[in-house]
């Protein structure tokens, strides 16, 4: 299948199993969404949701927050990552909203990006959720999942991933796919322990198909004869060589024959690795 067909299958497959296809940040209006999204940078939504109720009681809108100094905001968000910088951003952002936008949160990505602390991803999230603008913001979950599934190729940055995904998907599906990929990455296709065996879209995942092609474990290896076993030459050795495979990934190899068909005698598992994006 080509990437556009793969994207359609992934969209359909995730829609069947993910019912709530929206942000997990608690908010009641565009201002609260903007604040929560800004706070969520390099922090979990769960943590953000624990601090925003008190923060919003103290500063319910841009007008009240614009009158606060960063030192007054800091105590409410001290448990969030980078609270010093974020408290400064929130104070300045609120003043900018009052001075430049008459107290209303701007509705376009371009105008949102003029606010302190608001990058491209945050601007897209707010514009998409609060104002229905077609957006597809890429976070670490989407970056990882899109690469694993095979929706993108040669996409070294979130912006590259965003552009490729937007070319694959109909505009009307951008916002929903954003949430589907985030939630799939957050709860199923996790960075370190992805639940591949129960994945609802494994049939469309290139990474899963590559994992399935890896050789199974070799039973009965003798650790006393060496740390590693070459299944090509049928012998043990202590120290492997290292070579790069066709994907540019460094692999362990047999020092005698150069084969990458190497197994760890402690576990019996292959030493071969598949390129991954664990962020």
Q: Is 139 a catalytic residue?
A: yes
For residue 263, the cross-strand partners are 229, 270
Q: Which position among 139, 154, 172, 256 bears the catalytic label?
A: 139
Question: Which residue in 88, 121, 173, 264 is the catalytic one?
Answer: 121
- By CB atoms closer than 10 A (0-12, 13-18, 19+), residue 101 is middle
Which strand (E) or helix (H) includes residue 237?
Answer: strand 235-237
Strand ranges inside 171-234, DSSP E: 228-230
Nearest-Å Rg of the Cα atoms of the chain is 24
Residues 6+ apart with CB under 8 A from 209: none
Token pair 């664990």: residue: 278
Q: Is 264 a catalytic residue?
A: no
Helix H or strand E segment including 52: helix 45-58
Q: Is 112 within 8 Å of 10 (Cβ atoms)?
A: no
Query: Is-contact 177 165, C-beta < 8 A?
Result: yes
CB 223 within 8 Å of CB 267: no
Residues serving a catalytic function are 121, 139
């Amino acid at each position: 299948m080509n990437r556009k067909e793969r994207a359609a299958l992934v969209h359909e497959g995730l829609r069947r199993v993910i019912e709530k296809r929206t942000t997990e940040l608690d908010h009641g209006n565009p201002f609260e969404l903007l604040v929560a999204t800004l706070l969520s940078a390099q922090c979990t939504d769960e943590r953000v949701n624990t601090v925003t109720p008190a923060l919003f009681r103290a500063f319910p809108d841009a007008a009240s927050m614009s009158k606060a100094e960063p030192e007054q905001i800091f105590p409410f968000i001290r448990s969030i990552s980078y609270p010093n910088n974020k408290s400064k951003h929130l104070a300045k952002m609120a003043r900018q909203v009052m001075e430049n936008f008459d107290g209303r949160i701007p509705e376009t990505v371009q105008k949102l990006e003029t606010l302190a602390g608001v990058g491209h991803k945050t601007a897209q999230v707010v514009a998409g959720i609060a104002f229905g603008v077609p957006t597809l913001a890429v976070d670490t979950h989407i970056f990882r999942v899109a690469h694993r599934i095979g929706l993108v190729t040669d996409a070294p940055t979130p912006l590259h991933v965003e552009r490729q995904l937007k070319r694959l998907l109909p505009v009307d599906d951008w916002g929903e796919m954003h949430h589907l990929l985030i939630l799939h990455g957050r709860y199923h296709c996790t960075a370190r322990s992805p639940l591949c065996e129960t994945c609802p879209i494994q049939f469309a995942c290139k990474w899963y198909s590559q994992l399935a092609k890896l050789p199974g474990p070799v039973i009965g290896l003798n650790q006393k004869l060496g740390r590693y076993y070459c299944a090509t030459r049928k012998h043990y050795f202590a120290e492997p060589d290292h070579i790069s495979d066709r994907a540019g990934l460094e692999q362990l190899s047999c020092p005698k024959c150069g084969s990458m068909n190497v197994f760890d005698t402690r576990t019996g598992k292959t030493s071969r690795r598949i390129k991954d994006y664990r962020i």
